[in-house]
Amino acid sequence: MKQLIQKLTDTFSPSGYEDAIRDVIRSEIKGFADEMRVDALGNLIARKGKGGTRVMVAAHMDEIGLMVTHVDEKGFVRFTGIGGVYPRNLPGGRVRFMNGTRGVIGLDGSVVGNDLPALDKMFIDVGVSDREACPVKTGDVAAFERPFMDLGGRLVAKSMDDRIGCAVAVEALRALKSTSNEVYFVFTTQEEVGTRGAQTSAYGIDPELGFSIDVTGWGDTPGQRDFDMALGQGPAIKIRDGGMLSDPRIVDWMIAAAEKNKIPYQREVLLGGTTDARAMQLVRSGIPVGCISIPCRYVHSPSEMIDYADVQNAVKLVTALLRPPIKLP
C-alpha cells in the first residue's frame, strides 16, 4: 500500500486540474468496480454492488496549489493560492508547474524581520532574467514539489490531503469482494475550493447515506492544545467540524463497526474546516452523512505526515461498514 500512496502523492493535480490523478486512480481500480464513469465536473465514480442501500463514499483527488497572476519584467512570477494555502509554509518551498517548469518561492525585499508575509509579497523564481524567457504565463498552475518520505511507521508527502483518503478508498474497493449494498466510491474534484465535486456527484447519485474519507488535524506535537487527536491511535470518527454535524446514527454505526471488529478509533470534534460530507449532506432533500478521518500533521504544508497503521485500520473500517446490509434506525 505504501507504493500506492507514493504514486498518488507524487502525482500533480491541483483543484480544477485533476486529469492526471484521475487517470492514476482509474488504472488502480480497473477490474474491481462493477461500473466506472466520469461526470461533467470530472469526478470519477465507481460503483460496487447493485440493490440494497445506496451509499456514497467520497475522497477528493485534488490538492492545494498556486496560480500565476502576473510575470514581471525580470521574469519573477507572482501568484495566488488555489485552496487553503498558508503563507507561513511557503518561503523557500519548491513548486512544479503543470508544464513541467520548476521554481522556488522567494520573499519580496520589503518583508523585514520575522513578519509573516501575504501571498502578494512572495514570488516564484524559475531561473530566468526577463519576462520573455519565462516559461509560464498568467493563469498557469503549480503544485508543491517535495519527495515522498518513508519513516517506517510514518509517511510524509505533499498532498496527503487527500490522496491518503483516495488510497483508503482504492484499497477498500479492492478488498470489498462483495457487498449487500449499492456502493458508489467517488473520487471528487475541487474539494479544496468549495467541495464542488461532491455536491454535483451526490446530486447525480442521490444516495441514501454517505461519508467522506479525509484528513484531519493533530494535537500531539509540542504546543498543540485543545484537539484530542494523535497519530497512531486509529482513524477518527467525526462528530462535527467547522461546516458539518455528523448524523448521530452514522456516528453510532461507525463506532459499532469499529468495536465489533476490534479496530482502534478516535472521536473527532474539529472546530474549523470541513470535508466533502458537508456538500453531500445538503444535496436534494438532505442526506445522513459522516466522515472517517486520517489524523495528519502539518496539514496544507508540503510535508504532511500520517501514520501507516491509521491508514490500514481505516481500510478495515470502511470495508467492515460496507460489506453487510446497512439499515440505520
Active site residues: 191
123 φ/ψ angles, rounded to the nearest 5 degrees: -150, 165
Alpha-carbon distances, residue 179 vs 53, 182, 222, 319, 322 (angstroms): 10, 7, 43, 9, 6
Q: Which residue blocks in the chain are alpha helix, DSSP H?
A: 2-10, 19-29, 160-175, 196-205, 248-260, 276-281, 308-322
DSSP string covering 185-226: EEEES--TTTSHHHHHHHHHH--SEEEEEEEE----STT--S
Phi-psi region of 235 (alpha: psi -120 to 50; beta: other; left: phi over 0): beta
What is the radius of gyration, based on Cα positions, of the chain? 20
Angle between helix axes 308-322 and 248-260 (nearest 10 degrees) is 110
SS3 85: coil
Spatial contact of 55 and 322, defined as CB atoms under 8 Å apart: yes
> Which positions ≥6 away from 111 have C-beta within 8 Å?
117, 121
Q: What distance, in Å, lies between the first and last C-alpha atoms of the chain?
A: 35
